[in-house]
Chain A
Amino acid sequence: MATPPVFSVGQYNTAAYMNSIGLWKVATATMNGTATNITNCFTSDFLNYRVLVNFTSTNANQFVYLQFSNGGVPDATGNYVYAVQAVNAVGGTGTMVSTTNTGLILGYTGTANGNGATSLDIFQPKVVGRTYGHSQRWEYDSANFVARTGGFLKDQITAFDGFTIGIGGGATITGTIDVYGYR
């Protein structure tokens, strides 16, 4: 019998094999509006999570954000702390920082090239305590291609069961969100 992860056609996969899978898809959602919430994607099954967001199109040059949530209610307490460095494709650099914001700003969209992508690792969001993580975003905003890399902290002793991703200005964004749990 082949040894995972090299499976053979028709092979019987034992519980031990399945339980050794390191990254498990727990949720997928389609974005088509101002905001999208995923509830109960953070559970006691996994400690840490990877979130991949593909932004397909938008109707405005606007910021995109994340808020943690419980029961579908986004947490807008002003203790999202983040430090993000940015560099664009023509050499411009900058920072995106806050210690008191009501959400985590991921980056910006552009109508001309509205596609962008975000990857987040979120550590122990379902454990009562502070939630740390890091984010990477690649986008073509209103002027240039920009790459952003940073870290964040939800400076609050709380457990969360989900999150909301949305866009500012009452604009609309389309795309997909995939959530994976690290075993």
Chain B
Amino acid sequence: MDNKTITSYDVLTGEETTRELTQDEIDAINAMGAQGANNDD
């Protein structure tokens, strides 16, 4: 498994799960980044 993963921690149960992100999920994250202006430097 590569590291394109999401790990979830449940505070109540102590359960920890890790799964790979789908390409659609990665694309959605990247679309979010495209909206964030970064003109500080």
Q: B1-41 toward A: CB 8 Å interface, digit per residue (1/0)?
A: 00111111111110000100100001011111101111111
Which of A14-22, A31-39, A114-122, A124-132 contacts its partner?
A31-39
- Other-chain residue from B4, B31, B36 in contact with A96 (beta carbon distance below 8 A): B36
In Å, the complex CA distance between A172 and B31 comes to 17
Chain B residues closer than 8 Å to A94, beta-carbon distance = 37-41
B38–A96 touching, CB < 8 Å: yes
Chain B minimum-CB-distance residue to A166 = B29
Instruction: Name the CB-closest residue of B to A90.
Output: B41
On whether the beta carbons of B6 and A98 are closer than 8 Å, the reply is: no
Given contacts A35-B21, A94-B38, contact A72 B8 (CB under 8 A): yes
CA distance in complex: A65, B29 (Å): 9
Inter-chain contact A38/B29, CB cutoff 8 Å: no
- Contact between chains at B32 and A37 (CB < 8 Å): no
Please determine whether A95 and B39 come into contact, CB atoms closer than 8 angstroms.
yes
Size class of the A contact interface (CB-based, 8 Å): 35 or more
| Contact of B8 with A34 in the complex, beta carbons under 8 Å | no
Q: Interface on chain A toward B: helix, strand, loop, or mixed SS?
A: strand
* Contacts known (A63-B33, A101-B36, A166-B29); A35 close to B41, Cβ less than 8 A: no
A51 at the interface (CB under 8 A from B): no
Q: Mark A159-183, 1 if CB is under 8 A from B, else 0.
A: 0001010101110100000000000
Bound state CA distance, A106 and B14, in angstroms? 27
> Is there an interface contact between A40 and B11, defined as CB atoms closer than 8 Å?
yes
User: In A11-67, which residues have CB < 8 Å from any B CB?
Assistant: 26-27, 29-41, 62-63, 65
Residue of B nearest to A100 (CB): B35
- In the complex, chain A residues whose CB is within 8 Å of the CB of B18: 33
Q: How far is the CA of A33 from the CA of B12 in the complex (A)?
A: 22
Query: Could you tell me which B residues sit within 8 Å of A by CB distance?
Result: 3-13, 18, 21, 26, 28-33, 35-41
A-side interface residues toward B, CB under 8 Å? Answer: 26-27, 29-41, 62-63, 65, 72, 76, 86-88, 90, 92-98, 100-103, 105, 108, 141, 143-144, 146, 148, 162, 164, 166, 168-170, 172
